[in-house]
Structure 1
């Protein structure tokens, strides 16, 4: 219970503390180097994520960071639990945004930070608006920004990895950026499998080799989704055998 309380108090307090920082970032000069600007904006979310995970007492093991290529990429990860997002923000140095459900836009301050790091909000109940959001995501990728998708569409909560939905891979098809599969294991042990309390867990993040445009451009979306899922499952199984 104490860890849960500490995590929620820290999250709320940090968001309030970050308001002046968020305001100053909005005033960054337009002629600032784009890469430097992204790094400055992502400093605060990364600091939050690493401290937030430290409060859980969890250990995060990362493998395959060298597989991340230069330039914009589409990260595609399985979705085990609520703590996947801070784990990825803290683990990966390359700045990136998320594809998120539209309901998060109602959360003050948090939604402003998500907009600052170029997250894309999707209204799954409105196909036209969802299509416009995908188009906006494609533009972000073409302009040098990286994104993360969770193609399962919902948390597995520590169960088997579900089948990947194909829609998110339109972002890769439309932009031509590399797809980087990511396996996350152990985040559900922090919260979802712990009676909604927070406890320390051992988390493994495995980053696989990228799948480049020339490898997927002629494939159907569902085939791409299945290929990425198979790679995530394969890398997880290989890690278990090696352990």
Structure 2
């Protein structure tokens, strides 16, 4: 791996700032598997969610774990483009074509499958959009279809606590509050006799269970 001074320094700075603002405490229920492609899926209530999970990972893993994020947000400015591409290695999803028509499921999942095929990992928010943080929203079908396309990926739930209070939806004011990220044990992907709804409910329940742990 080539040493890149800007990536090294900016990453270290972001991790330090993230920890100062959130006091983030990472709890691992199982030892992370560095060399196995993994989908870390989490509840979503803040623009800081992806950064917090990424910063909670061991430093040796961050190069190989890529947040999945909306292109329309992360391409709005040169700074956001730099952070998403150069620092986080994010996979940006274009939700609509220039014509305004939505992309197909296959179009949206293709770059995610490419990452997993490279034996690297993803940070994924199955609710699709940010919620209020008080309760978990319904999971969209993307997680199910992604595992249909790449069934060998490990699936690890990550419960984020208090992130909605650090940067509330609609606010630009960051409020320092102690937060936590609980990484659960891996669950299995869709079983042969399991419907899409059954699998998504099972994945959601596994994530919700971490909120009570």
Q: TM-score range by the shorter chain?
A: 0.7 to 0.9
Q: After the TM superposition, which residues 1-243 of structure 1 pair with which residues of structure 2 at under 5 Å, given as runs?
A: 36=1, 43-44=8-9, 46-56=11-21, 58-64=22-28, 66-70=30-34, 71-93=36-58, 94-95=61-62, 96-103=65-72, 104-116=74-86, 117-125=88-96, 126-128=101-103, 131-176=106-151, 177-192=153-168, 196-213=172-189, 216-218=190-192, 219-237=194-212, 239=213
Task: Calculate the TM-score normalised by the size of structure 1.
Answer: 0.71
Kindly report the root-mean-square deviation, in angstroms, between the aligned alpha carbons of the 2 structures. Answer: 2.9
1 or 2, which has the higher helix percentage?
Answer: 1
Task: Calculate the TM-score normalised by the size of structure 2.
Answer: 0.79
Shift of the alpha carbon at 1:40? 8.9
Q: In the TM superposition, what whole-angstrom CA distance separates every residue of 1:40-82 from its partner, at most 9, and x where no partner exists?
A: 99745642332222442x3212111634223110111001222
Gaps of 5+ in 2: none
Assess if the C-alpha contact under 8 Å between 1:68 and 1:209 holds in 2.
Answer: no
Gaps of 5+ in 1: 1-35
Shift of the alpha carbon at 1:208? 0.8
- Taking the aligned partners of 2:104 and 2:78, their CA distance within structure 1 comes to 22
> Would the alpha carbon gap of residues 67 and 172 (structure 1) be closer, same or farther in structure 2, given more than 3 Å must change?
farther
Instruction: Tell me the number of residue pairs that the alignment of Structure 1 and Structure 2 aligns.
Output: 200
